[in-house]
Amino acid sequence: MAELIAAQSESNKALVAQVKDKAVGLMGLTNEVDTKLLHQCFELDQYDNLLKPDFMDAVRKRREYLIWQEQVDAEEKRINFLKKMK
């Protein structure tokens, strides 16, 4: 913890919570976040994958459209196959 507090810079900060003369909490803050590592370690969909909500809404709509398109294509193939079988 002492290293974290001592290593503060413009991109890394430490906040220490203190009650009387006793440290009771510590929070390390940084603007150097490895989002790829976070995606590998955690399920971030409920947090919009750490992206802007509008962008994630567009991504979700696009995914829904692609799934729908796959279903339509599969149904067309099935219909064509049934036509050939007749």
Per-residue pLDDT, 62: 97
Task: Using alpha carbons, list the distances in angstroms from residue 4 to 16, 27, 71, 75.
Answer: 11, 10, 53, 59
Tell me: the pLDDT tens digits for 21-80?
998 999 989 888 888 999 999 999 889 988 899 999 999 999 999 999 999 999 999 999
| pLDDT exceeds 90 at position 83 | yes
| pLDDT exceeds 80 at position 1 | no
The domains of the chain are located at: 47-86
Per-residue pLDDT, 5: 83
Residue 50: closest CA among 64, 71, 37, 35: 35
CA atoms of 28 and 22, how far apart (whole Å): 18
Per-residue pLDDT, 7: 86
What distance lies between CA 33 and its chain's CA centroid? 12
Per-residue pLDDT, 2: 81
Say which residues have a Cβ less than 8 Å from residue 13's Cβ, sequence separation at least 6.
Answer: 28, 29, 30
Per-residue pLDDT, 37: 92
